[in-house]
């Protein structure tokens, strides 16, 4: 029996598809350090479960399709602290950032149309965009250039009559690239000139390190009509299992299209919304603490990776990912080796092969994404295991 | 700025689009009986919140993309009690039945392809199917014939090279029609002859009244390879705000397509899954109690509606909806009248205009869907308000 063309085009998540092999490794008694998935070990703030435990409605009812007003108002206040003005009508709560992106693409993209996006990019964009029949026109970026892409020279040649939006993840997954406000302004200016949208995935907003400022496309009100912000509680509040995301925009026609889909799927989890309202009310000190934690982890993992001969990477400016070129021909083969054959004192490590993060065929075969989501000691050990694994792997191959 | 063609094709939910007018009516001090939305007043079993309150992981983590194993095993045991054998690999937990349907259509339907479905049907199928670019080829059914559609004569003429599935909601929303096992067998037989799928939306499974047997397409193992079951906790357990649904099938290729989408959107709410595991373990006595409750409500509302001169309806055999033809030209105009102008002792009533439940243009303008989700006293009063409203409305129009 045959399926829809798009279903064949979709791929299994390169972040998750090696899980069955990892499960076998664990069943054999190995400890596996999971650097493959953006699941932090940071505690979810207590206010999340506290609010849920205090919820005492006898019926777990449908919420409003656009979201629970208490959550919307908390999000509004959160944006206000950064000088951005988004009210209830400017936002729709979604089942995670994932649904926010899927609905956005379904609203904007006809089959065969395109978005421009820097590669490597968060791999699941492939699937979200394929749902709408769209394609990514990639700006290929490299560690050697800091994964930068926000120039006219890189973006404009990709624009054609099929282009519907420029899509940016900042701070970047999987590169850690953080756009400056000037770069964001340039991207908006290009979008305006060509009358297309800007889709701004800012789920790592607070995680901009060193002297980098916290930036948002929402800080450019002169372009507000064409900016669509994707947000989520998953990373900011270490609440990945609370599937609470947001589509935020001042474009009323766009929000009206999203609302049609939001009404059809009725609503988002009532208890997750109740819990998340508290998260958006956390004080600035919470973000400072978490940011310092990830920044420290980044320093450790970067230092360790630089000890490996032949590795190419750049110290990431934000988010909690790092894209690293390894001195092996196929990181997928290397990963299978790490899970099936390698161990050091009964321990091994898992990472995400980067090939699935590219739109251009053939790129990323020797690159991995590391998520620095474990504590410093574990990140150090994880990086060390990669180093020891490369030695053992290349020795096995006779290199 | 323009949007995707599909976004223009989608409609606002006819169940929810009159909410703003209802809110105004309430602000003016009117009490509104909500018979428009399938949100029961039945208490959610305590086990749902009890399990969530006992959840004490310090990090609210991503769940597995296919679902939490405790929930999957509970679902498996639930099906076993009806003699159906579905294991972990045969099911993927979704964000409500809504996501289950959207993913199913995205997996099966290319733009321009069709599913066959009895009309009136649950209106949000329009939006789910439009996401995939598909169309409904409707079998028009009528109260006078018990909304029946399961005959070769009605279904086969609609099958052509674009047909990908026959989609059934049984017990039916909005008609209350319940398929017998023989009817289900016939539908599967037709599907097999034409090598298409059967999509079986059985979220009201237990709500089959009088002498009707509980039936499921899962009870026909000889057709298991082409049957896709859509399930949900919303109605069965009065837990609409817990967005837990399921796609269930023995077709491994199909499940593999669904898994790609499930992995891309990562997972479903962790706490809702934890809570829902308990729901599927409820004893048979729970279903008996709830079924008796809805059956009693059905009897009351049917009796009251039959008192209204000119009304055409049929006593529904299942679910908790009834489709009713009213002696008015436009039920949408009548609904606005009920909310804006009418009251009886400060009270009015809301229902869902049925036009949006049809694929054939022009049908349903004089029909409504009533959800009998309130207690008997309130249902009686709601039906009485419809009667009084019709009198006042036709008097106003000079009829």
Q: Residue B56 has which token pair? A: 């004490």
What pLDDT score was predicted for residue A70? 96
pLDDT tens column, B207-243: 999 999 999 999 999 999 999 999 999 999 999 999 9
Interface A–B counts its CB contacts (< 8 A) at 233
Cβ–Cβ gap B62/A242 under 8 Å? no
Question: Which DSSP category does A262 fall into?
Answer: H
Peptide bond into B174 cis (omega under 30): yes
Nearest to B11 by CA among B131, B100, B109, B112: B131
What pLDDT score was predicted for residue A15? 80
The residues that bridge with A368 in the sheet, in sequence order, are A324, A353
Q: How far apart are CA B324 and CA B321, in angstroms?
A: 10
CA distances from A218 to A91, A104, A175, B230 (A): 13, 17, 22, 39
Q: What are phi and psi of A34, to 5 degrees?
A: -90, 95
By three-state DSSP, how is residue B141 classified?
coil
pLDDT tens column, B301-353: 999 999 999 999 999 999 999 999 999 999 999 999 999 999 999 999 999 99
Q: Does B47 touch chain A (CB under 8 A)?
A: no
Q: Does B394 touch chain A (CB under 8 A)?
A: no
Q: CA torsion B325→B327→B329→B333, rounded to 10°? A: -90
Q: Residue A160 has which token pair? A: 């054609």
Q: Does A48 touch chain B (CB under 8 A)?
A: yes
Q: Residue A67 has which token pair? A: 């979201």
Residue B3 has its nearest CB partner, among A10, A107, A128, at A107
B144: pLDDT confidence band, cut at 50, 70 and 90? confident
Q: Does A141 touch chain B (CB under 8 A)?
A: no
pLDDT tens column, A226-266: 999 999 999 999 999 999 999 999 999 999 999 999 999 99
pLDDT tens column, B147-163: 999 999 999 999 999 99
Burial class of residue B88 (count of CB atoms within 10 Å of its CB; 0-12, 13-18, 19+): middle
Q: Are A94 and A261 in contact (CB under 8 A)?
A: no
Q: Are A368 and A352 in contact (CB under 8 A)?
A: yes
CB count in 10 Å sphere of residue B393: 20
DSSP sequence for B277-326? HHHTT--HHHHHHHHHHHHHHHHHHHHHHTTSTT-EE----BTTEEEEE-
Q: How far apart are CA A373 and CA A345, in angstroms?
A: 22
- State the best of B50, B99, B263 to mutate against chain A, taking most chain A CBs within 10 Å: B263
B20: pLDDT confidence band, cut at 50, 70 and 90? confident
CB count in 10 Å sphere of residue A314: 18
In A264-293, the residues whose Cβ lies within 8 Å of chain B are: 264-272, 275
* pLDDT at residue B3 greater than cutoff 90: yes
For tokens 């929303």, the residue is: B173
What pLDDT score was predicted for residue B15? 80
Cβ–Cβ gap A241/B269 under 8 Å? yes
ipTM of the complex: 0.95
Cβ–Cβ gap B3/A253 under 8 Å? yes
Q: Residue A156 has which token pair? A: 């404009």
Q: What is the mean pLDDT of each run of 10 residues along chain A (399 residues)?
A: 95 84 92 93 96 94 95 98 97 98 98 98 96 98 93 98 98 97 98 98 97 97 98 97 98 97 96 97 96 97 95 95 95 96 97 96 96 96 97 90
pTM metric for this prediction? 0.96
């Amino acid at each position: 029996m045959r399926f829809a063309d798009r279903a064949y085009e979709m791929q299994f998540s390169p972040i998750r598809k090696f899980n069955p092999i990892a499960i076998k490794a664990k069943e054999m008694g190995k400890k596996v350090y999971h650097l493959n998935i953006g699941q932090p070990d940071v505690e979810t703030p207590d206010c999340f479960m506290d609010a849920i435990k205090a919820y005492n409605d006898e019926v777990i009812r449908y919420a409003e399709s656009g979201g629970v007003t208490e959550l919307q108002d908390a999000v509004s206040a959160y944006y206000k602290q950064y000088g951005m003005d988004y009210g209830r009508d400017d936002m729709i709560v979604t089942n995670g950032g994932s649904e926010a992106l899927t609905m956005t693409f379904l609203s904007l993209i006809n089959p065969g149309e395109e978005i421009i996006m820097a590669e490597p990019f968060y791999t699941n964009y492939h699937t979200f965009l394929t749902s709408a029949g769209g394609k990514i026109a990639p700006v290929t970026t490299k560690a050697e250039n800091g994964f930068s892409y926000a120039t006219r020279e890189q973006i404009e040649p990709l624009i054609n009559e099929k282009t519907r939006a420029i899509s940016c993840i900042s701070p970047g997954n999987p590169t850690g690239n953080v756009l400056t406000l000037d770069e964001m302004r340039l991207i908006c200016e290009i979008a305006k000139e060509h009358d297309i949208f800007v889709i701004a995935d800012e789920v790592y907003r607070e995680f901009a390190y060193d002297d980098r400022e916290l930036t948002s496309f929402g800080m450019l009100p002169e372009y507000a009509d064409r900016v669509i912000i994707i947000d989520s509680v998953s990373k900011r509040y270490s609440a990945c299992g609370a599937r609470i995301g947001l589509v935020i925009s001042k474009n009323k026609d766009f929000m009206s299209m999203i609302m049609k889909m939001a009404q059809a799927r009725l609503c988002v989890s009532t208890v997750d919304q109740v819990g998340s309202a508290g998260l958006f009310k956390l004080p600035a000190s919470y973000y400072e603490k978490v940011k310092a934690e990830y920044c420290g982890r980044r320093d450790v993992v970067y230092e360790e990776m630089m000890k490996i001969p032949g590795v190419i990477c750049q110290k990431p400016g934000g988010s909690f990912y790092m894209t690293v070129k390894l001195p092996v021909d196929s990181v997928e083969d290397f990963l299978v080796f790490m899970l099936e054959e390698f161990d050091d004192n009964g321990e091994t490590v898992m990472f995400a092969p980067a090939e699935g993060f590219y739109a251009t065929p053939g790129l990323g075969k020797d690159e991995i994404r590391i998520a620095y989501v474990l504590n410093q000691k574990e990140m150090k050990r994880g990086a060390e295991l990669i180093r020891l694994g490369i030695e053992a792997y290349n020795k096995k191959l006779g290199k």
